[in-house]
Amino acid sequence: MKKYKFTYQKSGVNINASNQFIKYISKLTKKGNSKKKFKNIGSFGSINEIPKKFNNPLLVSSTDGVGTKLEIANILNKFNTIGIDLVAMCVNDILVLGAKPLFFLDYISIDKINLTKLKNIIKGIHEGCKMSDCQLVGGETAEMPGTYSKNKFDLAGFSVGLVNKNNVLKKENIKENNLILAIPSSGLHSNGFSLLREVLKKKKINIKKNKFLRNEILKPTKIYVKEIMSLLDRKLINGCANITGGGIGDNIERVIPKNLCARIDLDKIKTYKIFSWINKSGVSEKEMLKTFNCGVGFCLIIKKNNFHKILKFFPSQYRPYIIGEIIKNKSKVKYTNNIRW
């Protein structure tokens, strides 16, 4: 009888470990979801109902990753927060259109299934979904030997939300003399890590031995869903921007209508020690503004008489403050003064 020596497991793919992980996710997502009508985890696709309060719904979708923040997670062997980052990077984007996150899917690709690592990642994703009041409905875990080197992996997230057609936040809502408010970030969020890692490399800094950096560098991205949805429900926002890659200027520019300009007073920005440290380590202010959020995680554009109305919806740590206004100008964004590092 002919002997067969090749198996999928010997090639580096462990189906049994993958199945164990799927069972773990299914068990995790069942908690607090007794009202769900459809079993999505482990199926070939997910089924979701459109909530009844949406009478003229539009779908809003976004996809994103965590970038090279994953490399820092590997160095520090800490994986329980990057799942929150993954959810945040997606759901914060769809808020800009006025949409409420409905469900979320993830894609994890890895060199070899490590159940402890994957469980910590998925715990973070599940926690991020709870913070966003959306459901983790499925995803994919791909074991890819030969594609990733030892211990390397990547994450991608996919969020889908709903907004009533009449409630979409459009550029045309933004008017001259509107205020621009900064909502503080929780820290670095998930952008600029390639530049940060270059700084660490050139300065020969071991983050495992640096308590300040170790505490700051993996803080998860703030999820703004709860606060922003409260404002959207009360129609207190004319426009908003999620401050991600490209920094404050590039992201606000994306929502400003023709012939109007966002004038931002940089010395009003309340930055954090981590950004001051990066700046003093050799990164110019211009480069900082192009790369990092510099302490501003999300921006609101509102009517002046709505300013005091919105403050009660935010905890003190994330209370919005004024950093500029909308003016008439050919430039989409105009900076004045400098950040007080």
Q: Indicate the range of 33-47, 72-86, 128-142, 234-248 predicted with least confidence.
A: 33-47
The whole-number pLDDT of residue 48 equals 82
- Apex 161 CA angle, 156 and 166, nearest 5: 145
The whole-number pLDDT of residue 252 equals 97
- Model confidence at 195, pLDDT cuts 50, 70, 90, reads very high
Average pLDDT over residues 213-237: 97
- Model confidence at 38, pLDDT cuts 50, 70, 90, reads low
The whole-number pLDDT of residue 14 equals 74
Q: Give the single-character DSSP code of 99.
A: P
Q: Is 117 in contact with 250 (CB distance < 8 Å)?
A: no
The whole-number pLDDT of residue 23 equals 75
Percent of the chain predicted with pLDDT > 90: 81
Both ends of the chain: CA-CA distance in Å? Answer: 75
Tell me: pLDDT of 7 over 70.
no
247: Cβ contacts below 8 Å, ≥ 6 apart: 288, 289, 290, 291, 292, 293, 294
- How far is it, in rounded angstroms, from Cα 117 to Cα 253? 38
- Apex 163 CA angle, 159 and 164, nearest 5: 160
Q: Tokens in use for 52?
A: 């009844």
The whole-number pLDDT of residue 29 equals 73
Average pLDDT over residues 166-170: 97
- Model confidence at 303, pLDDT cuts 50, 70, 90, reads very high
The whole-number pLDDT of residue 153 equals 95
Average pLDDT over residues 44-67: 90
Tell me: pLDDT of 41 over 80.
no
The whole-number pLDDT of residue 11 equals 67
Burial class (CB in 10 A: 0-12, 13-18, 19+), 44: exposed
Q: To the nearest whole number, what is the mean pLDDT of the chain?
A: 92
Tell me: pLDDT of 339 over 70.
yes
- Residue 52's φ and ψ, nearest 5 degrees, are -65, -25
Using one digit for the tens of pLDDT, what is the confidence trace for 110-159? 999 999 999 999 999 999 999 999 999 988 899 998 898 999 999 999 99
The whole-number pLDDT of residue 306 equals 98
Using one digit for the tens of pLDDT, what is the confidence trace for 72-102? 999 999 999 999 999 999 999 999 999 999 9
Q: Where do the domains of the chain lie, and which CATH numbers do they carry?
A: 15-27+57-166 (3.30.1330.10), 171-187+222-336 (3.90.650.10)
Average pLDDT over residues 282-299: 98
- Model confidence at 3, pLDDT cuts 50, 70, 90, reads confident
The whole-number pLDDT of residue 258 equals 93
The whole-number pLDDT of residue 35 equals 57
